[in-house]
Amino acid sequence: MALKWYTVVVDCRDPQAQAHWWAEALDWTVVYDTPDEAVAVPRYALEGPEHEEDPDAWMRRGQGLVFVPVPEGKEVKNRLHLDLAPHTSQDRDAEIQRLLDLGASHVDVGQTEADTFTVLADPEGNEFCVLSSRDG
């Protein structure tokens, strides 16, 4: 029997701000928000008849991002990061600008001009990549 990927947990200083930032960046929604934990999930996880019958059905439908507080700030490059890709119908540069307008920043991790990805960081400095546009 295989394990199911359930969530990615992100240590951060301000779980609520991070959850809301990522929800905005990904067009997701925050479904749980307490001082000890905030959870963002894809909107599709909240759709369908099973969600109407069980408000916690999102927990069984898809991966989410869980943000938990830690006292220390981020000091080194992430060992794990998210790769995001716009759809081929989207303007990649406009999506990058949208993320920058939300509070992301450019990060240099040694990438070159030949690379087909852009490295950004969220407001707490966690790196992520925006890849070339993808179909689906």
| pLDDT above 70 (res 116) | yes
Q: Which residues pair with 30 in a beta bridge?
A: 40
Residue 25: which of 89, 88, 105 has the closest Cα?
105
User: Which band of pLDDT confidence, cut at 50, 70 and 90, is reported for residue 27?
Assistant: very high
Same domain, 60 and 114: no
Structural domain count, the chain: 2
How high is the pLDDT of residue 43? Answer: 84
Task: Assess contact for 122 and 73: CB atoms under 8 A.
Answer: no
CA dist 41 and 23 (Å) reads: 7
Domain-located, residue 18: yes
Range of the domain at 32: 7-69
Local structure of residue 35 (DSSP, 8 states): T
How high is the pLDDT of residue 65? Answer: 94
* Residue 20: CATH number of its domain: 3.30.720.120
How many CB atoms lie under 10 A from the CB of residue 37? 15
How high is the pLDDT of residue 132? Answer: 93
Per DSSP, which regions of 43-121 are E strands? 64-69, 82-84, 105-106, 118-121
Tens-place pLDDT, residues 42-82: 887 777 666 566 656 666 666 899 999 999 888 888 889 99
Same domain, 86 and 65: no
pTM of the entire structure? 0.87
Same domain, 44 and 87: no
CA dist 22 and 65 (Å) reads: 8
